[in-house]
């Protein structure tokens, strides 16, 4: 069951947020104090009430906790409710309280069900649902919660007659995890408790578990050990010094599937998590969520709501964190608020929600997202959606000429300023330039020489979490261990220029048949012809060669060496196709 839209009305600073689209990875942005967190909290409140609806429906909810659906007072719902309590005096818009003393805060959630879920829904409710499932949640001054299932026509009455059955269906399908901006050690421990509880719940149908309480200890321990090892692997990805994480169950074993524990982190000295610094606690809490999404055997759809995940993190860790959130979003829904350009969804602009002036809407352009974050771009970059980085300044014009003739889509993107080309001034700068453009909310692709410098530049950027495999192409040639952009140019383009300008004929076996990269082959032939080779001469020759090739456009590209350029075209077109 997938949450595909959310609406909110009269909740805190949000007067209207209508049918906000929600995807696997959704980002909520906006200036400070405009209501980003309020949108996330409103969504969290609505989902928390829905996912525990059979215990909250049609009754006044106590102020100290919304849900008491298990004997264990440390149930995950109570932990969520701690951050999502409703207080009318605080949460209903203050400017409306006098004119609407009985006013309600209202939220609408829309769910898409797959074929299997539709069959389950029909079996549960005896209703053949042919549209998405929509439910409106209302809550007011007395904290009385009301659910209305929305549908045009006669079907609405049938849905609302089956409130109990539908609420139970949602409760069994939805699992919410809300993580506030301030991530305490208690929160991290709560996540471990959730994980333990979910994993241990698989033992409910175990006959031995039911018969002999003492056997529970033997059944629990391997699970606890497995989670401890897995959490250590997950956390050590962020904090390499961590040697071990221990989980010690402190609850009476007779409490069946309950779980309560302490978390110990060994990064040289084993101490409780709560004694570590804010950065370690924050990283641990979030990385545990990654493990939770992988390990959980609970048959529910996880919705992860996360406030400012970048808090307390170094920029390098933020890049790694985004990769983790993307990984989680492959199986679960991730919805975050952020101030960091790194966390923005750059490929699908409409997956970013902009909150400003009491309203929230799906972003219409990358510029709108930039404005909301206070990112100032120079005029020539203001419309840029994608930046292509090449090594040298002379390479920019050459690659541009090839791409424009290879693809009308790319040509139009260059003309409109949607796609810009920039040079690195050397492969070692790829990480720096990548970060610059990503921080300015551009998608980035790099095209570098397939030589030692190019490969090292790519590897360094990858190790820092700045660059992904689908963000670069190397100028590779079949049968060559090292190659560069000049290797792609047909010899006839510059043969006469080299003879006339330097008195050297490159049309020899030593140049044409060698597997060395272009600059080394040219160097060998020049030296063999009695010339002094230098970096200055190399740069001069390269500039003249690429200038000639640029003028001839696609005619200068060797038809037998187009693989890397074709790959680059495909990659760029794929990114441009995702722009909305």
Cβ distance 556 to 493 under 8 Å? yes
What pLDDT, on a 0 to 100 scale, did the predictor assign at position 207?
A: 67
What pLDDT, on a 0 to 100 scale, did the predictor assign at position 190?
A: 65
What pLDDT, on a 0 to 100 scale, did the predictor assign at position 378?
A: 64
pTM for the model stands at 0.70
Query: Angle CA(395)–CA(397)–CA(398) in degrees, nearest 5?
Result: 65
Structure tokens at 301: 């759809």
Q: Say which CATH architecture domain 183-297 belongs to.
A: 3-Layer(aba) Sandwich (3.40)
What pLDDT, on a 0 to 100 scale, did the predictor assign at position 576?
A: 92
Dihedral sign for Cα 426, 432, 434, 437, please. negative
What pLDDT, on a 0 to 100 scale, did the predictor assign at position 54?
A: 43
Q: In what order do the strands lie in the sheet with 419-423?
A: 419-423, 386-390, 443-449, 472-475
Closest CA relative to residue 363, chosen from 348, 383, 380: 348
Report the interhelical angle of 315-329 vs 278-295 (nearest 10°). Answer: 20
What pLDDT, on a 0 to 100 scale, did the predictor assign at position 75?
A: 40
Could you state, in order of their start, the residue ranges of all structural domains in the chain? 183-297, 377-580
Report the interhelical angle of 185-200 vs 278-295 (nearest 10°). Answer: 20
pLDDT, tens digit (0-9, with 9 covering 90-100), for 81-92: 455 788 899 999
Question: Which phi and psi (to 5°) does residue 250 adopt?
Answer: -110, 0
pLDDT, tens digit (0-9, with 9 covering 90-100), for 429-452: 999 999 889 888 899 999 999 999
Q: Which residues of the chain have pLDDT under 70?
A: 52-83, 153, 182-218, 248-261, 274, 276-283, 285-299, 312, 377-382, 580
CA distance 474 to 476: 6
Residue 379, classified by CB atoms within 10 Å of its CB into exposed (0-12), middle (13-18) or buried (19+), is exposed
Closest CA relative to residue 475, chosen from 457, 489, 467, 487: 487
Q: Report DSSP state, residue 62.
A: P
């Amino acid at each position: 069951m997938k949450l595909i839209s959310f609406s909110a009305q009269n909740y805190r600073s949000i007067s209207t947020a209508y049918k906000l689209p929600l995807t696997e990875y959704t980002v909520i942005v906006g200036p400070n104090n405009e209501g980003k967190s309020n949108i996330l909290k409103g969504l969290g409140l609505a989902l928390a009430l829905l996912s525990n609806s059979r215990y909250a429906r049609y009754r006044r909810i106590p102020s100290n906790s919304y849900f008491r659906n298990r004997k264990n007072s440390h149930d995950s719902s109570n932990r969520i409710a701690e951050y999502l309590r409703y207080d009318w005096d605080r949460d209903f818009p203050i400017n409306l309280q006098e004119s609407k003393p009985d006013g309600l805060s209202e939220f609408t959630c829309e769910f898409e069900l797959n074929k299997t879920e539709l069959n389950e829904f029909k079996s549960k409710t005896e209703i053949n649902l042919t549209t998405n499932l929509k439910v409106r949640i209302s809550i007011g001054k007395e904290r009385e919660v009301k659910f209305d299932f929305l549908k045009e026509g006669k079907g609405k009455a049938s849905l609302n007659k089956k409130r109990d059955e539908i609420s139970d269906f949602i409760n069994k399908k939805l699992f919410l995890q809300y993580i506030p901006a301030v991530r305490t050690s208690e929160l991290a421990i709560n996540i471990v408790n959730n994980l333990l509880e979910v994993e241990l719940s698989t033992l409910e149908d175990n006959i031995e578990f039911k018969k002999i309480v003492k056997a529970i200890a033997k059944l629990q321990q391997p699970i606890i050990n497995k989670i401890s090892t897995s959490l250590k692997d997950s956390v050590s990805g962020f904090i390499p010094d961590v040697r071990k994480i221990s989980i010690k169950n402190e609850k009476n074993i007779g409490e069946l599937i309950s779980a309560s524990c302490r978390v110990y982190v060994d990064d040289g000295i084993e101490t409780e998590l709560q004694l570590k610094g804010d950065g370690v606690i924050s990283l641990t809490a979030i990385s545990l969520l990654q493990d939770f999404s992988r390990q959980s055997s609970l048959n529910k759809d996880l919705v992860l709501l996360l406030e400012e995940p970048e808090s307390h993190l170094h920029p390098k860790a933020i890049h790694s964190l985004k990769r983790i959130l993307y990984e989680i979003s492959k199986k679960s829904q991730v919805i975050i608020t952020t101030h960091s350009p790194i966390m923005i969804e750059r490929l699908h602009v409409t997956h970013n929600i902009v909150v400003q002036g009491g309203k929230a809407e799906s972003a219409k352009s990358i510029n709108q997202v930039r404005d909301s974050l206070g990112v100032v771009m120079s005029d020539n970059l203001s419309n840029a959606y994608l930046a292509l980085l090449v090594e040298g300044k002379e390479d920019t014009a050459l690659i541009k000429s090839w791409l424009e003739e290879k693809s009308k889509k790319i040509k139009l993107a260059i003309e409109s300023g949607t796609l810009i080309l920039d040079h690195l001034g050397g492969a070692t700068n790829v990480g720096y330039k990548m970060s610059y453009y990503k921080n300015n909310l551009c998608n980035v692709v790099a095209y570098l020489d397939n030589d030692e410098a190019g490969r090292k530049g790519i590897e360094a950027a990858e190790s820092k979490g700045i660059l992904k495999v689908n963000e670069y192409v190397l100028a590779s040639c079949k049968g060559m261990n090292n190659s560069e952009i000049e290797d792609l140019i047909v010899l006839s383009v510059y043969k006469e220029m080299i003879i006339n300008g330097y008195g050297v004929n490159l049309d020899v076996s030593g140049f044409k048949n060698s597997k060395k990269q272009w600059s080394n082959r040219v160097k060998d032939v020049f030296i063999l012809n009695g010339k002094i080779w230098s970096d200055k001469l190399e740069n001069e020759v390269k500039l003249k060669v690429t200038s000639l090739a640029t003028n001839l456009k696609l005619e200068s590209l060797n038809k037998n060496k187009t693989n890397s350029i074709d790959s680059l075209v495909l990659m760029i077109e794929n990114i441009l196709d995702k722009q909305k």
